[in-house]
A = this chain, B = another copy of it.
């Protein structure tokens, strides 16, 4: 695990410790190198983890896979140095956008590992399963794109909603902002209140647009409006869409139910119940829902997941399982934690 001192790193460790086929041989974190993991994350004490080391200290000789949870930018630099025999599951943003131009525009720097970028596979498990199986480098989607695309891709593919004027009103818990010290994620700032952030300029927007454009075979531009909610984990998407001519909310519900009928981690909300983040906390599950809009010809679409699990480390582990031909749900079967 490269970059193990962030929340996604810690959550991956939490899951990987109980994976029967994973042996954690190294945890890196340049800023904490030399420390026992339990000094950085006391809840991980007692599980026999290796001490944190610097990225360059890892002996990759007998290592089969690397999970990479570094910040974007650094991530591509480090991944470029890994030996060929190491399969890489990248949780950062560096290999999600296929177009280096788009990357440069949104991330404010040139992509310097464009060969790797060409090889990278977009790790939205339920929609790229077959290519993930054979990939060497999987770029796991951001948390918002995961929640949004699992909800919208089947509907766009089935042609039951329009891709014009798609409104994606998103809500996220605070852990999505990471463990770095920022004023707006202090308890007293983020607690007992909420508001939007990064309106019109959140880096998950181009990722959503990339995949919706591919599905729609045309350029799609979306309204993506994220809000910061006073909870640690959990993400909720409320998408407001126009129905395609002749389509109904019931059609949308049916398309989603059928598309995910055999998926272990994606399900429709129970009858009469709306999705809520409380239904997925701490787990790899995703819950979807559909409701009629009072405005004729429109539909309200909902999706929820735990941003640190299915939105990050859980999906990474799911992809790892695929890449190593293991049962896909291994180490991911924990039920949601409620309350």
Cα distance A232–B304 when bound, in Å?
20
A236-B231 CB under 8 A given contacts A181-B183, A186-B185, A279-B42: no
User: In the bound complex, do residue A39 and residue B270 qualify as a contact, i.e. CB atoms below 8 Å apart?
Assistant: yes
User: Which residues of B are found within 8 Å of A230, using beta-carbon distances?
Assistant: 187, 191, 229-231
Identify which of B225, B269, B291, B294 contacts A205 (C-beta below 8 A).
B294
Identify which of B179, B205, B229, B291 contacts A194 (C-beta below 8 A).
B229
- Say whether A222 faces chain B, with CB atoms less than 8 Å apart: yes
Identify which of B36, B38, B236 contacts A195 (C-beta below 8 A).
B236
A234-B194 CB under 8 A given contacts A179-B183, A185-B186, A188-B185: yes
Q: What is the oligomeric copy number? A: 4
CB-CB contacts below 8 Å: A161-180 with B:
165, 167, 169, 171, 174-175, 179
User: Which residues of B are found within 8 Å of A175, using beta-carbon distances?
Assistant: 188, 339
Cα distance A271–B36 when bound, in Å?
10
Chain A interfacial positions (CB closer than 8 Å to B): 7, 10, 14-15, 17-18, 36, 38-39, 41-47, 165, 167, 169, 171, 174-175, 179, 181-183, 185-197, 199-200, 205, 221-225, 227, 229-234, 236, 238, 240, 242, 267, 269-282, 285, 287, 291-296, 298, 300, 302, 304, 333-339
